[in-house]
Amino acid sequence: MLPPLPPSPLRLQIDTDALAANWRAMDAMSGTARAGAAVKADAYGLGVGQVVPVLAEAGCRNWFVAHWCEVPEVIAHVPAAQVAVLHGPMADADVAFALATGVRPVLNSLAQVARWLAAGGGPCHVMVDTGINRLGLAMQDLGDPMLGRLDIDLCLSHLASADEDVAQNAAQLERFARTRALVRARRYSLANSAGIALGAAYHADLTRPGIALYGGVVRREMEGVVRQVARPQAAVLQLRDLVAGDAVGYNATFVAPHAMRVGVVALGYADGYLRCWSNRGSFGLDGAKLPVIGRVSMDLTAIDLTLAPDLHEGDWLTLDYDLRRAAVESGLSQYELLTVLHRRFARK
């Protein structure tokens, strides 16, 4: 028997009030449609166990994951019939799992349609490609008679460029209107987070916000509406006093210009704090901005503590991780910033 595991020197503070408020905001912006929630990739890195109960309490009743392996953790909190698997049934084992659990497969091809019907079928979802050229039935497939044999709960498509004001949005909307005329379903869905902000024409019956739930601002209409949810924090492992000329980290990319105090925190690229933050990122403490100095390494990052002279080993620092601002500073997308966060973070 092992003794109790010591606490992690990394923690991800999750503002559950902000999370619930973001879902309610997306639901309100969806007008007469209802908002679901994309909770794939462990709820964009925040943790299904932390996110799904909060959103269910707020009123969410439709959940989207990518892989079949993501299903068990979600249906531990909500009914299986509310959960959709976007990648669809690639093999008979996927079909058997869907039928046994009641989870809804998203059928993306005529081969998947045939596989589902051959097993007896049942309620399902169907994805149609209206221009992103990822998953989904091609427009020319929509006349296939097999589709008429399906019990389609949700017919959905996905916008490619909803975060931009481009002609592709209207083109996909027009194709989606043709899809609705050709595919008989109980409900229809097109808009992701950014698509919600495009207006009522894009809302259909169900919207599928993802990044906006977790603090991502992907269109100007969401500024001041979407609240920050995730705040990564790291403990200071060691304090070091440098003299002028001392180098910090791999390849000496930072050299102390004068005597200074440095903190080494338990955070690195193995945790999702990537090397692009080297000599660029910062931590916050009581309003003070503490810059990252030197290269981020696998498990450790050094910080200039000039503005935090009273900091001690074991104290906690909070990453500057407002998603929109951090995306500009790092060159990463808001999606990447969340989904790269590793499981060494204790979720709180």
Q: Hey, which residues are catalytic here?
A: 40, 250
Coil vs helix vs strand at 77: coil
**Helix extents (H) in the chain:** 16-29, 40-44, 48-58, 71-75, 92-101, 110-118, 167-182, 193-196, 323-330, 334-339
CA distance 306 to 299: 23
Q: Is 342 left (phi over 0), alpha (psi -120 to 50) or beta?
A: beta
Torsion sign over Cα 67, 68, 72, 78: positive
Residues 6+ apart with CB under 8 A from 72: none
- Going by C-alpha positions, the residue among 183, 186, 210 that lies closest to residue 196 is 210
Handedness of CA 140, 163, 156, 67 (dihedral sign): positive
Contacts of 174 (CB under 8 A, 6+ apart): none
Q: Number of helices (H) and strands (E) in the chain: give both, helices first.
A: 10, 19
How are strands ordered across the β-sheet holding 104-107? 37-38, 63-65, 83-85, 104-107, 123-127, 151-156, 187-189
